[in-house]
Amino acid sequence: MKTPVNAFKKAIAEKRTQYGLWVSLLGPLSTEVCAAAGFDWLLLDAEHTPNDPMNLLQQAQVIAGYPGVNTIARLPMGHGFVGQALIKQYLDIGIQTLLVPMVDTAEQARELVRCMRYPPEGIRGMAGARASGWGRNANYAKEANREVCLLVQAETREGIENLDEIAAVDGVDGVFIGPSDLSASFGHVGDPWHPEMEKIIAESFKRIQKAGKAVGILTLDEKRAKEHVAMGANFIAVGTDSNLMVKGTTALVAAFKGATPTSGKPQNY
């Protein structure tokens, strides 16, 4: 057995834009519908959903059946003993790329890098788990550090203040700007594209790029997403499974029953 090459990590290192979709509905069947669409990556969200490692494993197995579609998993948290344990579990089940929310300091980023890697570069525990083919891949522990990919989210005032230092951390492969939490942190709750936020996001792109790291962001607006690509976004989520279902079902009801109390416009990240 060979350690799989992380195609997503390779693509963002080569500055090839990767288009993705946020997956929050948990079910293997809905995940497969999204995987079959042909996105470059799917984000399995465990921060704002009740996703657990077993369900993440099932979804990752489904995605693996669609060559060219990469799996990314977002942890509910990345700090402390809980974060360390979850990172180990996610990597052991074979997910190579992790997105960690609410990273505010370079110290936190360095600790995440250590949790992602086997000694001597880190503190990841040894195990003959699924990622190593249940121990059949004798070289896995020697090669895994090369293929894991760490993406950190800058989505608070503190994170933006420390952005240069966070992006400079060796082992951080990309920095993802979280528009909704970031705008809330700056006093613009529910308005992620406030003029002040657009300026901060544009400046953040430049700071991350200056550090030589990949830039990521999520937006549900097609025009704005294309603008972010033009600004240099390397990995960009252009939709969410839940939002697509909300829009589709709302439009279908409206076509037959007219406007309903639940047919308001979904939040446009």
Catalytic site residue 188? no
What are the beta bridge partners of residue 154? 177
Residue of 48, 79, 194, 228 with catalytic role: 48
Residue pair 155/104 in contact (Cβ under 8 Å)? The answer is no
- Measured from the Cβ of residue 85, the count of other Cβ atoms closer than 10 Å reads 12
How far apart, in Å, are the Cα atoms of 147 and each of 2, 20, 151?
A: 12, 20, 13
- Measured from the Cβ of residue 144, the count of other Cβ atoms closer than 10 Å reads 21
* Phi, psi (rounded to 5 degrees) for 141: -65, -20
**Residue of 73, 68, 76 lying closest to 44 (CA atoms):** 73
| Catalytic residue positions, numbered | 48
